[in-house]
Amino acid sequence: MAASLSWKDVPGAILIYDRAGQVIDANDAAVGLLGLSRDRLLGTYAEDAEWLVLEAPEGPMSVHPVTATLKSLQAVRGVLARASRPEGTDIWIQVDAVPQLNVAGEVTLVTASLCDVTHLFARSRLTSRGAGEHIVNEVVGELADARLETHSILHVVTNALSRMRPGTWVASLLNKDPSTSLVVAADVANSELVEYINRHVASLDHPGQAPTTGISQRVIESGKPLLLPQVPMSELWEMIAPGVAAYVAEHPLPIPIETSGVVVVPMRARGAVVGTLALYERRSSNPLTEKDIIWMQAIADRTALAIENAQLYEDAVIRLERLGSLQSLSLALSASPDLRLTLKVILDQVTAQLKVDAADVLLLEESDNMLALAASTGFLATAVPDYRLPVDEGLPGRALTGRRIETLTALSAFSQFRRRSLFAREGFKAYGAVPLITRGKLLGALEVYHRTPLSPDQEWVSWQGTAAPQRAPSPPQGLSLLEIQIIRLMVEGLTNREIAAQVHLSQNTIKFHVRQILQKTGASNRTELAHQAAKDGWL
């Protein structure tokens, strides 16, 4: 005879509540699912369960489904909720609560069946309005694995969001010139829309950068999010930025869209707004709400903080690279008798550190006060014309006569007609010039060119000036020839023992001279002395 099957043995999780909403019984599956012992589970109340109730088929809910059943005397089915297990993990459950009524129509018991849907919920696109917290956790997890690079971070965030919440996601980050922003878009379900946005941004005056105007500017300046549950696309184009409507009229969208929901939140880092994160959603039902602002703001702020950390890291790397290149320049200028080698080192370091497309060096010929091309790199032409320019005419003459850095971003500023055609063929859009001065004597000019507009920061300008030594490279007075020779060997990295062997003196004598040199130069140690000698070109 087969043994009878008790309800406590069925594989589905079941809880029994009394009319007060208190758990009076539970089967083994429920005990295992919730992670509680039977003794801890029995006697607990539905209203104290601390479940995060997200939604039900009938509409949004904010109470435990058993509580809703006790109040309505009706079955409540398909409720989605999140419960926390004692060890700290979260589970997602679908709950059906069914009341048992007596002849008087009063509730005597409520049977609640629980179905674990955690695996389904984690893999879904998470279109639920209450799924925001889970989306935040997922995006933060992907941010932790992103490269410390601004564009990579924005790409990771927007792509992760578009996978979990359908729609077109657009992140805008203010550039150092806040009138323009870096724009990154993602839409996994409609990649053609992303390509459309990228083509539009590429068509602007600054390819890859969009003007900080319209909706983005409004949110940045106010620091407050913007919610538009549903707006006609004709109105939205005018709101996004000037010129967008005209572009759309000339270049139709790849897919027809009549209306869209919009949420734009500020990206904030350390009290400052650095950009925006926007969702453009094409669904006509279940419109965007204030709840979406909450979780989107959390993601935007975490993204801004990650970008700030990445920019600090990038700036530190750039400083280290520029410091190393300055040391190479100083050594080449002070130690090499080969002018061509020296100029090659200068141009290689300049194009690498300033990230410009081309550079050249013009040397001053005192016999006729003309500037002649001595070396160049980065030009598209196989042979750059051997042009000669009067010192007192236009650029770079202005940099030389004023002995200051000149930086221009307008092609019309080039006044030398003989070079205008060359610049036009090369496609240059930005120009910089700095005088080359050594021992107080003007030697010529260093010029840099770029084929896209530049927005140089102060460090960029400072490095450009430092790359061309401005101070007379002579050592402090009072140093003997032997001491200058010792300094040269120290700059090359030799130890006291190696220096002693080079100059045929004892180590103690070298130590004595090193102390004398430090005292005369004011340097606190060998490292500072070597750096100062290399930077100032004493040798």
Where residue 341 falls (left for φ over 0; alpha for ψ -120 to 50; beta otherwise) is alpha
Prediction pTM value: 0.46
Q: Where are the beta strands (DSSP E) in 2-70?
A: 13-18, 23-26, 52-55
Evaluate whether 269 touches 307 at the Cβ level (below 8 Å). Answer: yes
pLDDT in the model for residue 473: 46
Evaluate whether 241 touches 219 at the Cβ level (below 8 Å). Answer: no
pLDDT in the model for residue 128: 47
For the segment 392-417, what is each residue's pLDDT rounded down to a tens digit? Answer: 666 666 666 554 555 565 555 555 55
For the CA atoms of 53, 54, 59, 62, what is the dihedral angle to 10 degrees?
40
Structural domains in the chain plus CATH codes: 11-123 (3.30.450.20), 129-313 (3.30.450.40), 337-467 (3.30.450.40), 481-536 (1.10.10.10)
DSSP assignment letter at 412:
G
Q: Where are the beta strands (DSSP E) in 251-294?
A: 259-269, 272-281
For the segment 73-130, what is each residue's pLDDT rounded down to a tens digit? Answer: 999 998 888 787 886 677 889 999 999 999 989 999 999 999 988 777 554 544 444 5
> 266-272: long-range contacts at Cβ-Cβ below 8 A with a sequence spacing of 24 or more?
266/219, 266/220, 266/223, 266/224, 266/225, 266/297, 266/300, 267/171, 267/173, 267/300, 267/301, 267/303, 267/304, 267/307, 268/223, 268/300, 268/301, 268/304, 269/301, 269/304, 269/305, 269/307, 269/308, 270/308
Rounded CA separation 116/106 (Å)? 30
Rg of the chain on CA atoms, in Å: 35
Q: Mapping DSSP to helix (H, G, I), strand (E, B) and coil, where does residue 179 land?
A: coil
Amino acid at 138: E
Helices (H) and strands (E) in the chain, counts: 19, 18
For the segment 157-209, what is each residue's pLDDT rounded down to a tens digit? Answer: 999 998 888 889 999 998 877 888 889 999 988 889 999 888 888 877 665 56
pLDDT in the model for residue 148: 80
pLDDT in the model for residue 149: 86
Angle, CA 420 vertex, CA 436 and CA 353 arms, to 5°: 40
Instruction: Give me the phi and psi of 279, to 5 degrees please.
Output: -120, 125
Write out residues in the chain with pLDDT < 70, as ranges.
1-5, 52-62, 87-88, 121-131, 205-209, 283-286, 313, 315-342, 382-385, 392-418, 437-441, 454-477, 534-539
Rounded CA separation 533/471 (Å)? 12
Which residue, 304, 245, 296, is CA-closest to 275? Answer: 304
**For the chain, what's the residue count?**
539
